[in-house]
């Protein structure tokens, strides 16, 4: 078996793209999208007609409403290809707005259900701010499952698990980027700080019996992916999926619930003050969370402008 096939024995594979053709090629279980991926997709000739069609059909609505319809249109098409779930992201400009994030999550689910899609097949992506986690806690109680994204630290992961969110997406590559820039070291394998962060989160969850799923995300190379074999899920770009499919090297399981039980990690209790203090003490997590939100906001504005140009 190639490495992708070997990995599928231990981990659920998720395609990190808005490109339907790439999703078909690698037969993943789930798929994730975000504003940047949708923006990239609608600028391609084969996907631009979807945006134009949505803009025509909902011409009398606000730009924000049209964008919601566009996101759901992409998600609906993706769900025709995959057997599992699609992640659809809320507007990053709502990252510090609990009520706004709740309203957006409800609206996206309403649109999916109007299209005949069960809410069980959709994950609402929300940034792992304190406000975002609180929004996800409310949505989960309503049966709207969430994927907490832009996650860079154990305190964020613990707060998400305590809120009983369905799934988290710790970002491996962006952690690696920060440490590489900070230290000048090109980390590989188990020494990669991004890999170590996800391993610590996975171990904490499994040791203390949390049900929240861990989905490693934002990979820079296949080495990072291989080191996380056994993680609940991994969301991987088409380029790296292709590299795994082209390699016949042996891949072994690195993470397991059994090994996690023997960890010496201690259980932490987080209230808002402790969460904010611990996050503030982590320069990498603080900087990457803020940077990620800003970048998604920029792409959200660009997507708005593409829609407005069609009106």
Could you read off the pLDDT tens digit of each residue along the chain, which spans 311 residues?
Answer: 999 999 999 999 999 999 998 999 999 999 999 889 999 999 999 999 999 999 999 999 999 999 999 999 999 999 999 999 999 999 999 999 999 999 999 999 999 999 999 999 999 999 999 999 999 999 999 999 999 999 999 999 999 999 999 999 999 999 999 999 999 999 999 999 999 999 999 999 999 999 999 999 999 999 999 999 999 999 999 999 999 999 999 999 999 999 999 999 999 999 999 999 999 999 999 999 999 999 999 999 999 999 999 98
- Token pair of 110 as six digits: 């309403």
Cα–Cα distances in Å, from 81 out to 48, 51, 68?
19, 19, 21
Nearest CA to 78 out of 110, 36, 41 is that of: 41
CA gap 150, 285 in Å, rounded: 9
Output phi, psi for 283, to 5 deg.
-60, -40
Q: Judge whether 201 and 213 are in contact, CB under 8 Å.
A: no
Cβ–Cβ under 8 Å, residues 139 and 106: yes
| Residue 203 phi, psi (nearest 5) | -60, -45
Strands 12-16 and 146-151: unpaired
Locate 276 and state its tokens. 């904010």
- Superfamily name with CATH number, domain 3-309: Aldolase class I (3.20.20.70)
Please identify which of the residues 44, 80, 125, 199 carries the catalytic annotation. 125
The span from the CA of 169 to the CA of 147, in Å, is 7
- Residue 81 confidence (pLDDT): 97
| Whether residue 125 lies in the annotated active site | yes
pLDDT value, residue 205: 98
What residues pair up with 86 in beta bridges, in sequence order? 31, 122
112 Cβ contact list (under 8 Å, min separation 6)? 72, 75, 76, 88, 119, 121, 122
């Amino acid at each position: 078996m190639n490495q992708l096939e070997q990995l599928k024995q231990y981990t659920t594979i998720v395609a990190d793209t808005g490109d339907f053709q790439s999703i078909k090629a690698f037969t993943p279980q789930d798929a994730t999208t975000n504003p940047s991926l949708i923006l990239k997709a609608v600028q391609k000739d084969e996907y631009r007609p979807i945006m134009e069609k949505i803009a025509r059909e909902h011409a009398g609505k606000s730009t924000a409403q049209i964008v919601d319809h566009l996101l759901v249109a992409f998600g609906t098409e993706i769900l025709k290809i995959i057997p599992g779930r699609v992640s659809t992201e809320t507007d990053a400009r709502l990252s510090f707005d609990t009520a706004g994030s709740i309203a957006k999550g409800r609206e996206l689910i309403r649109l999916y259900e109007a299209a005949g899609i069960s809410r069980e097949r959709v994950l609402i992506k929300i940034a792992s701010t304190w406000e975002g986690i609180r929004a996800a806690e409310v949505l989960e109680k309503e049966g709207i499952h969430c994927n907490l994204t832009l996650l860079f630290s154990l305190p964020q992961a613990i707060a998400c698990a305590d809120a009983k969110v369905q799934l988290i997406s710790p970002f491996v590559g962006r952690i690696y980027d920060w440490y590489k820039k900070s230290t000048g070291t090109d980390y590989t394998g188990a020494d990669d700080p991004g890999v170590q962060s996800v391993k610590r989160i996975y171990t904490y969850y499994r040791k203390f019996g949390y049900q929240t799923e861990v989905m490693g995300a934002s990979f820079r190379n296949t080495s990072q992916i291989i080191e996380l074999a056994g993680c609940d899920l991994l969301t991987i770009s088409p380029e790296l999926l292709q590299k795994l499919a082209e390699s016949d090297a042996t891949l072994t399981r690195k993470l397991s619930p059994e090994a996690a039980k023997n960890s010496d990690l201690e259980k932490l209790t987080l209230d808002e003050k402790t969460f904010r203090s611990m996050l503030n003490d982590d320069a990498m997590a603080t900087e990457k969370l803020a940077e990620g939100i800003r970048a998604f906001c920029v792409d959200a504005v660009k997507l708005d402008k593409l829609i407005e140009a069609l009106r």
